[in-house]
Amino acid sequence: MKPPDSGREFPALGWSTVFVAVFLLAWFVFRPFDTLWMFVGTGSALALLKVLRRLVSRHPTSRIDRWCRTNATPALFLAHLRRGENRAWLHAAQWRAVRRAGMFAIVCTIAVCFMGWDAWKENQALNHLRSRGQEVTATVVSVTGWSDADEALHVDVRFETQSGPARTNVDLEGDSVGSKPGDRLTVVYDPVRPATVRLPSQLDGRGIDGLVTGMVVLMLLALFVLAHAIRDQLRAGRR
């Protein structure tokens, strides 16, 4: 079967979507850098993929270019793997919007799953701090994150525990924003896990509300896009 002409370029929601899904999965698991750099890295990598594809397309007789045209989308790649079976829906042009919406929904689902995991871990940590946490005065050692207004948002603090000195990172909010090395903060730590530290004002769980809101918005967006694509396809099939 002759591949479609659009195979000479990576579709915006084709292999790029698979790459973004894998990148998000790796970031959520390993967290090698901050959220801002995650977006910057994703955009840079997608731009690099686009440039590489254009360079490869300049040599239409090369083996790499032939593979890219034959497997221009994940749907075509799966169709070639499933030879001998009824696979028209995998590469039929009229199902393209549904396939793209499905891949977008998969990316959103991956993000929602890890956001839910983060929310559950945060809820567990807050429950432990409320039940057995101890309040101490900690000293700011260094600033690890800044706001756009050059105010400290994340700091390393040092404090004394029953088992000895401990040092960990704390997210600042309210009046504590802008703290400098040497300043003193009141924190609550878990005696069982001294690295688990929060400000007293953070024990109400407001941070979890933001994660839950993000999960709901992402899932509603994914369902809306997928349902809209399926509805349009069903309407087109009746004509």
Tens of pLDDT, residue by residue over 80-133, are 555 545 555 555 666 777 877 887 888 888 888 888 888 899 999 999 999 999
Amino acid at 172: L
Which of 183, 203, 207 lies closest to 133 in space, CA to CA? 203
CB contact at 8 A, 222 and 109: yes
CB atoms within 10 A of CB 155: 25
Who wins on pLDDT, 50 or 203?
A: 203
Least Cα distance to 142 among 190, 181, 97, 187 occurs for: 181
Name the residue with tokens 């591949």. 3
12 confidence band (pLDDT: 50, 70, 90): very low
End-to-end Cα spacing for the chain: 27
Task: List, in order, residues 6 or more apart from 93 with CB less than 8 Å away.
Answer: 4
**Does residue 24 contact residue 112 with C-beta atoms inside 8 Å?**
no
For the chain, percent of residues with pLDDT exceeding 90: 19
Give ∠ CA 98-102-108 in degrees, rounded to 5: 145
The mean pLDDT of 154-162, rounded to a whole number, is 90
Which pTM was predicted? 0.62
